[in-house]
Amino acid sequence: MPKPEFKSIEKINLGADSHLELVEVEGRKYVLKTYIAHGGENAITKRNREFYYHKELEKIGLNHFKFHFLDFIQSNQLCFEYLENFHTFDTINDSKEFGKLSKYVQDLWEISKIEKTKFVEEKDCKHASIEDYFNYLKIDVLRCKTDPKYAVLANKFIDELKQVTTYLTLLHSDFHEHNIGLVDREILFFDGGNYSYLYGHKYHDISRILMYYPEGVIFDNQEISPRIKSFVDGFKFDYKSVEFQKFCYLQSLIMYNNPWIEKRKEIADYLYQKLFL
């Protein structure tokens, strides 16, 4: 039986880690994602991490893109059905929708805590224990080219947070408004599995939104926008707590040399000055 032919319709975007392309196969539209190798990591490893991340979402019953296994797909590609009514959160200003996002993330926390799901240990994807996860954080911090004094404080915070962490939650790992979708008013995660460990601290994902959005909440003199306030209020936790700010400090160091993240160095320095006791 001959392989189906596909027609390229549109290049959707050109990212650092992958290319997205809208294609048509036998009258149906699909999104073809091709992974790019860089930074010493091969494309197939990255492809497998996202694949198994989605399989884990499927196992615990949360919405996600469904894969299609078509004959033309290469080993460094995944294929998803195209959704006409799909929107990413960078186009959403409705505060209620951001509040809904906090409910989805909390469901992820609760399912991870109750079900004690274990991520498949293959294709370089591992389920980290609490000890492993915080060791990974230490390694990530050490990789960053910052003033050594930052790392000293980070290691202290990692040890403190490890002592009070009772469970790990499934992570998106690259949690920002361009990687969160809305379809028919339902949340849909995609582009997850950025790290080799996919379980971690519950603040791991949400700290990105609260730190790096223009209307974020890190600086004491910053005013929170209605949509971010709705997101924060949905969690019912103190985003000004020392524990949360310690975790944000760790994330700011991990992102310190990432040119795509605004205010990363400013936030790291601000939190260092604020939290250094």
Would you list the domain boundaries of the chain? 6-82, 87-275
pLDDT for 163: 93
pLDDT for 181: 81
Question: One-letter amino acid identity for 231?
Answer: F
pLDDT for 117: 46
Q: Could you tell me if 62 and 180 are in contact, meaning their C-beta atoms sit under 8 angstroms apart?
A: no
What is the pTM assigned to this prediction? 0.81
Residue in the structure block whose two tokens are 């073809």: 32
Tokens of 253: 């160091």
Spell out the long-range contacts of 262-267 with Cβ–Cβ below 8 A and sequence spacing 24 or more: 262/212, 262/214, 263/211, 263/212, 264/212, 267/211, 267/212, 267/218
- From CA 50, how far away is CA 146, in angstroms rounded? 30
pLDDT for 123: 43
pLDDT for 196: 65
3-state class (DSSP) for residue 6? strand
- Written in H, E and C, the secondary structure of 88-109 is EHHHCCCHHHHHHHHHHHHHHH
Q: Does domain 6-82 fall into CATH 2.60.120.620?
A: no
Who contacts 232 (Cβ-Cβ below 8 Å, separation ≥6)?
102, 210, 217, 224, 239
How deeply is 47 buried, as exposed, middle or buried, from its count of CB atoms within 10 A (0-12, 13-18, 19+)?
buried
* Superfamily, domain 87-275: Aminoglycoside phosphotransferase (APH), C-terminal lobe (3.90.1200.10)
Residue in the structure block whose two tokens are 């990789």: 143
pLDDT for 155: 92
Digitized pLDDT (tens) for each residue of the chain, 277 residues in all: 677 788 889 887 766 678 889 999 988 999 999 998 876 678 888 888 888 888 878 877 777 788 898 888 999 999 998 888 888 877 877 888 888 888 888 888 887 776 544 444 444 555 567 888 898 888 888 887 778 889 899 999 999 999 999 888 888 888 877 778 888 878 877 777 777 677 888 898 888 888 876 566 777 777 777 888 888 888 877 888 899 999 999 988 888 877 777 778 888 888 999 998 6
What backbone phi and psi angles, to 5 degrees, belong to 19? -110, 135
